[in-house]
């Protein structure tokens, strides 16, 4: 049993899982930091399609590793890249046999890393079944399936269901067949699409590929009628290659793209000589335009309501010329920016004409209106009302050339074998993030940014049209997305793992265990799941009450996917994804925090029913403050769980210890519990304080953790103590709520982190044969010094080392002098308790002192700690039992 805390009595026979005894957050966070910057290299399967707030694969792999491994006889370990042969020895020299039982047993709070040695190994577990009822992008299921577990998933959102389905099928999909299917589509439509993304090369009599077309919205001034281009400023892009210290800007007079030294200062156009300051555009903060002709300032959305949607004007191009590159030209010659020419406008008009005359293609684009909601319409979640900007249908987010190109690809994909078609559709809809007129150009980084850069729909006055199929360079094209899908499918059949060794990232050989060998998925409200006593683990990332409203943002993908999937899969037959069943606050639907608390409680009840009695619930949680902790703890405990551990999994937890309302991510571990035991708050508070102190001491001595990380783990240990008594904790005759307890625990942890003289003295009492060396050791990292303890006579070395216990002559003389001198005003709680203990021993009255000192929770708690560490319950009895406290009167 770990030193963190013991289990509830009726579950004492249940084996404690590694994740309850310890978790290597240092290793997980170190790896997560690197994976977060390079997801497509670490786990390309998760970059096949966008999903929001997706947890990193290394986090869920670690949670699975520490949650699923419990029986040494049901675990096999294989060396990646070793042809699926069982790992017969731990060291390469075959000198040490692999002892799984020992590895599991050695995991504890002080040193959880024995099991981490298996992280980069191909580990298999027998007869494990895992559920994720909120699977989202499927990370938990993919990672659990890599251990050979049977995985079952559910999500209300059909887009999440589809994305996860394709991830889990990747391990059984032939990547060569998928690549051949793409080549077939390429042969059919690539030329038809790319013909509309060509531009005259500025370096010769030939065409270059268009990477990005630059557009600006225009309105007529309400005062003078002058056409106002809605430029915030006239930057096009940062200079590149030999000109990376300059900026490409647009001349507002002649429309040329010119290179300047400083876009914020007076500049001259190289083409026409016009002088202007590029930073001075026509759009000001607050969403108003400034007419350059008459000076009128007017709200853009008001003008749109009066005039209708603004016009769009193509004004610049970023090109890539394969011909110039092949002849050895400089990079600044074959890749750069230029003004729009007549040929560019003619090509655009041809695409518009073909789109308008090709009625058969229109069935391959959505015809649904954009639903009103908390993100699409202005609310407290998003101040961007797309309707105020003239958008009504989903197709309004695209121009005609984009719609024509996407429809042609969609039509070609439709004829592919369904198992392969779905992957090409996945690639196409993922690329749609960058194939719309909500994209912007990141000028300092010289790249396009997609529609979901802010997890909402943000209308912009300057926008970028991407090359739908793709050129030799560029981001977010269909070809790029297909490449990501191919990489994900290849990874699915033979995944690898990355780990850190001696500070360097290493990659394993290929695992023989493919992803998704045994899985089933459900689409719908998880509260309708009817599993009972079936799962060994529920590993999930449940909704947080004010999280992203996935239903609204995922509609953007859904309306395109349903074109091909409507008759194939349930869930794709509606105009939008489900709304009202979502467990999340939604101001547009009047779903409140109270609704969320009720609904998440219903969800935990379903999870409790689905779990085996010895199963585990492990989930990540986005924490912000003690109020949300209270809601979570109350929901878990009310539905038959005890919290057995919590671990920080992000770097934002450092402020936790200060009590600030900060946001960071936490892994929560909980186990089923049948009943709880009554407890008084006074006794429970002592247990919680003792647990917090013990946990902190253990972690500080053995782990390299921040104060915030330690605080989070202390919180889990304290929750464990409370969970055993939920609903039966009494204070002053009243039952305390979980929220009240959490507030108290917050204070206890902050007190426990502020280690002072009394804490060090109690630790000395708990130390066998204490010495001055122990005083020095225990004072390190605290607010106490050896001098503090010496001055208060809590130890002395006059005749060898002695602790200043209640019966120590010098200690008691020090206390008596203070009592007699100032009436107790400057007595510490430890002084008071040792004074009372001394008087009781001498048969002297104590009751008058107890009444005079106004005994509070802090004094009672210290009395309990002294009683616990010394085995002498007189410390607590003198504060509360009249028969004792009246002794001698």
Per-residue confidence (pLDDT) for residue 689, from 0 to 100: 83
pLDDT digits (tens, 9 = 90+) for 186-238: 999 999 999 999 999 999 999 999 999 999 999 999 999 999 999 999 999 99
Q: Which residue has the higher pLDDT, 781 or 470?
A: 470
Q: What local confidence, expressed as pLDDT, does residue 753 receive?
A: 64
Q: Is the pLDDT of residue 88 over 70?
A: no
C-alpha 522/C-alpha 688 separation (Å) is 41
Are β-strands 519-523 and 150-155 bridged in parallel, bridged antiparallel, or unpaired? parallel
Q: 3-state DSSP helix/strand/coil percent for the chain, to nearest 5?
A: 45, 20, 40
The encoded tokens of residue 51 equal 């999903």
pLDDT of residue 307: 93
Instruction: Compute the mean pLDDT over every residue in the chain, rounded to the nearest whole number.
Output: 89
Quick one: pLDDT at residue 626? 60
- Which carries the bigger pLDDT value, residue 352 or residue 774? 352
Which contacts of 36-45 are long-range, i.e. CB under 8 A and separated by 24 or more positions?
40/484, 40/487, 41/498, 42/498, 43/491, 43/495, 44/484, 44/487, 44/488, 44/490, 44/491, 45/142, 45/167, 45/170, 45/488, 45/491, 45/492, 45/495, 45/515
- Provide the H-helix boundaries in 38-92: 39-42, 57-68
552 dihedral zone (left: phi>0; alpha: psi -120 to 50; beta):
alpha
Which strand (E) or helix (H) includes residue 490?
helix 478-493
Is 50 exceeded by the pLDDT of residue 884?
A: no
Residue 577: which of 592, 591, 557 has the closest Cα? Answer: 557
Q: Which of 362-371, 638-647, 781-790, 863-872 bottoms out in mean pLDDT, i.e. has the lowest?
A: 781-790
pLDDT value of position 658: 46
pLDDT of residue 886: 35
φ, ψ of residue 591 to 5 degrees: the values are -90, 120
- The lowest-confidence range among 374-378, 385-389, 761-765 is 374-378
Question: Average pLDDT of 561-572?
Answer: 96
**In which band, very low, low, confident or very high, does the pLDDT at 383 lie, cut at 50, 70 and 90?**
low
pLDDT of residue 3: 35
Q: What is the pLDDT of residue 799?
A: 83
Interval 404-411 mean pLDDT: 98
- Give the rounded percent of residues in the chain with a pLDDT score beyond 70: 91
Confidence of residue 438 (pLDDT cuts 50, 70, 90): very high
Q: What is the DSSP letter of 872?
A: -
CA distances, 867 to each of 419, 759, 871 (Å): 69, 14, 5
Band (53; pLDDT cuts 50, 70, 90): confident
Q: What percent of the chain has pLDDT over 90?
A: 66
Confidence band, pLDDT 50/70/90 cuts, at residue 67: very high
Distance between CA atoms of residues 65 and 313, nearest Å: 55
Averaged pLDDT, 477-490: 98
pLDDT tens by residue, 822-831: 555 678 999 9
558 conformational bin, left if phi > 0, alpha if psi -120 to 50, beta if neither? alpha
* pLDDT tens digits along 192-206: 999 999 999 999 999
What pLDDT is attached to residue 89? 43
pLDDT value at residue 763: 86
Handedness of CA 681, 682, 688, 689 (dihedral sign): positive
810-848 burial, b for 16+ CB within 10 Å, e for fewer? ebbebbeebeeeeeeeebebbbbbbbbbbbbeeeeebbe
pLDDT at position 414 over 80: yes
| pLDDT of the residue at 659 | 45
Dump pLDDT digits (tens) for 143-182: 999 999 999 999 999 999 999 999 999 999 999 999 999 9
Indicate if the alpha-carbon torsion angle 657, 660, 663, 666 is positive or negative: positive
Residue 547 confidence (pLDDT) above 80: no
Q: For the chain, how many helices (H) and strands (E)?
A: 30, 32
Residue 83: pLDDT over 80:
no
How are strands ordered across the β-sheet holding 283-284?
A: 283-284, 288-290, 297-299
Confidence at 750, pLDDT banded by 50, 70, 90? confident
Q: What number is the average pLDDT over the span 117-137? A: 96
Query: Nearest CA to 342 among 322, 321, 314?
Result: 314
Q: CA geometry: angle at 169 spanning 164 and 171, to 5°?
A: 120
User: pLDDT at position 625, please?
Assistant: 59
What's residue 2's pLDDT? 36
**Residue 301 confidence class, pLDDT cut points 50, 70, 90:** very high
Per-residue model confidence as pLDDT tens digits over 683-737: 888 888 888 888 888 888 888 887 778 888 888 889 999 999 999 999 988 999 9
User: What confidence category does residue 885 fall into, taking pLDDT thresholds of 50, 70 and 90?
Assistant: very low
Axis crossing angle, helix 738-753 with helix 626-638, rounded to the nearest 10: 130
Provide mean pLDDT across the span 810-818.
Answer: 91
Q: CB-based contacts of 526: which residues, under 8 Å, 6+ apart?
A: 133, 134, 154, 155, 156, 603, 606
Q: Which residue in 159, 162, 130 sits closest to 146, CA to CA? A: 130
- The answer to whether residues 775 and 787 touch, using CB atoms and an 8 Å cutoff, is no
Q: How many residues does the chain have?
A: 889
Residue 313, pLDDT score: 97
Q: Where are the alpha helices (DSSP H) in 780-856?
A: 786-791, 809-822, 829-841, 847-852
325 — pLDDT class (breaks 50, 70, 90)? very high
* Buried/exposed 699-721: b ≥16 CB within 10 Å, e otherwise: bbeebebebbbbbbbbbbbbbbb
Which pLDDT score, from 0 to 100, does residue 85 have? 57
pLDDT at residue 382 greater than cutoff 90? no
* Region at 153 (left for phi over 0; alpha for psi -120 to 50; beta for the rest): beta
């Amino acid at each position: 049993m770990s030193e963190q805390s013991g289990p509830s009595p009726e579950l004492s026979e249940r084996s404690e899982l590694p994740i309850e005894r310890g978790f290597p957050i240092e290793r997980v966070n170190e790896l997560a930091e690197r994976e977060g910057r390079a997801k497509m290299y670490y786990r390309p399967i998760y970059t096949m399609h966008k999903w929001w707030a997706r947890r990193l694969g290394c986090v869920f792999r670690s949670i699975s590793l520490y949650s699923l491994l419990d029986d040494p006889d049901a675990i096999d370990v294989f060396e990646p890249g070793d042809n699926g042969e069982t790992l017969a020895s731990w060291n390469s020299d075959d000198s040490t046999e692999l002892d799984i039982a020992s590895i599991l047993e050695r995991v504890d709070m002080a040193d959880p890393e024995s099991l981490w040695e298996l992280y980069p190994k191909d580990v298999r577990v027998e007869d494990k079944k895992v559920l994720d009822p909120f699977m989202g992008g499927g990370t938990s299921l993919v990672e659990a399936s890599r251990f050979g577990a049977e995985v079952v998933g559910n999500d209300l959102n059909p887009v999440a269901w589809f994305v996860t389905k394709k991830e889990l099928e990747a391990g059984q999909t032939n990547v060569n067949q998928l690549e051949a299917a793409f080549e077939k589509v390429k042969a059919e439509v690539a030329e038809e699409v790319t013909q509309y993304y060509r531009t005259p090369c500025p370096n010769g009599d030939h065409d270059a590929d268009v990477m990005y077309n630059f557009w600006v919205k225009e309105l007529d001034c309400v005062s003078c009628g002058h056409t106002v281009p809605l430029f915030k400023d006239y930057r096009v892009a940062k200079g590149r290659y030999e000109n990376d210290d300059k900026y490409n800007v647009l001349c507002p007079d002649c429309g040329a793209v010119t290179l300047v030294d400083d876009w914020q200062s007076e500049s001259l156009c190289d083409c026409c000589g016009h002088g202007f300051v590029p930073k001075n555009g026509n759009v000001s903060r607050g969403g108003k335009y400034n007419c350059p002709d008459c000076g009128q300032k007017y709200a853009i959305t008001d003008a749109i309501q009066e005039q209708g949607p603004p016009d769009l004007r193509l004004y610049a191009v970023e090109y890539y010329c394969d011909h110039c590159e092949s002849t050895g030209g400089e990079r600044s010659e074959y890749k750069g920016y230029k003004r729009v020419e007549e040929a560019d406008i003619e090509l655009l008009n041809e695409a518009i004409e073909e789109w308008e005359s090709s009625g058969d293609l229109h069935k391959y684009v959505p015809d649904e209106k954009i639903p009103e909601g908390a993100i699409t319409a202005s609310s407290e979640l998003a101040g961007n009302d797309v309707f105020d900007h003239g958008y009504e249908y989903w197709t309004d987010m695209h121009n005609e050339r984009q719609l024509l190109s996407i429809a042609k690809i969609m039509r070609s994909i439709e004829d592919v074998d369904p198992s392969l078609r779905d992957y090409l559709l996945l690639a196409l809809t993922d690329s749609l993030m960058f194939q719309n007129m909500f994209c912007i150009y990141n000028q300092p980084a010289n790249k396009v940014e997609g529609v979901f850069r802010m997890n909402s729909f943000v209308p912009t006055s300057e926008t970028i049209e991407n090359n739908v199929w793709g050129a030799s360079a560029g981001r977010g094209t269909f070809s790029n997305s297909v490449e990501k899908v191919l990489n994900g499918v290849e990874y699915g059949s033979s995944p690898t793992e990355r780990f850190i060794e001696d500070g360097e990232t290493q990659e394993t050989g290929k695992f023989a265990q493919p992803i998704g060998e045994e899985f089933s998925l459900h689409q719908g409200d998880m509260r309708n799941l009817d599993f009972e006593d079936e799962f060994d683990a529920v590993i999930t990332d449940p909704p947080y009450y004010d999280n992203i409203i996935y239903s609204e943002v995922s509609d953007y993908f859904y309306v395109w996917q349903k074109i091909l999937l409507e008759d194939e899969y349930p869930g794709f037959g509606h105009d939008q994804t489900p709304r009202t069943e979502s467990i999340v606050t939604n101001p547009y639907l009047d779903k409140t925090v109270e609704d969320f608390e009720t609904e998440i409680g219903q969800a935990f009840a379903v999870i409790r029913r689905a779990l085996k009695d010895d199963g585990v619930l492990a989930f990540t949680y986005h924490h912000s403050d003690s109020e949300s902790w209270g809601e979570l703890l109350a929901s878990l405990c009310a539905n038959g769980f005890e919290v057995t551990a919590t671990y920080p999994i992000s770097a934002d937890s450092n402020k936790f210890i200060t009590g600030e309302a900060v946001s960071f991510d936490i892994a929560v571990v909980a186990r089923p519990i049948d009943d709880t035991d009554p407890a008084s708050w006074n006794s429970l508070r002592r247990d919680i304080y003792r647990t917090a102190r013990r946990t902190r001491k253990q972690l500080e001595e053995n782990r390299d953790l921040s104060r915030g990380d330690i605080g989070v783990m202390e919180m889990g240990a304290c929750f464990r103590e409370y969970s055993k008594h939920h609903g039966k904790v009494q204070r002053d005759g009243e039952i305390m709520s979980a929220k009240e307890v959490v507030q108290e625990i917050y204070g206890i942890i902050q007190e426990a982190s502020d280690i002072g003289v009394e804490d060090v003295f109690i630790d000395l009492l708990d130390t066998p044969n204490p010495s001055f060396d122990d005083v020095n050791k225990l004072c390190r990292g605290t607010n106490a010094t050896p001098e503090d303890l010496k001055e208060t006579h809590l130890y002395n070395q006059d005749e060898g080392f002695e602790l200043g216990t209640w019966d120590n002559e010098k200690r008691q003389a020090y206390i008596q002098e203070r009592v007699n001198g100032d009436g107790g005003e400057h007595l510490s709680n430890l002084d008071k308790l040792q004074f009372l203990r001394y008087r009781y021993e001498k048969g002297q009255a104590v009751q008058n002192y107890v009444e005079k000192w106004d005994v509070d929770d802090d004094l009672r708690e210290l009395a309990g700690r002294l009683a616990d560490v010394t085995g002498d319950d007189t410390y607590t009895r003198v504060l509360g039992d009249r028969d004792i406290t009246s002794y001698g009167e």
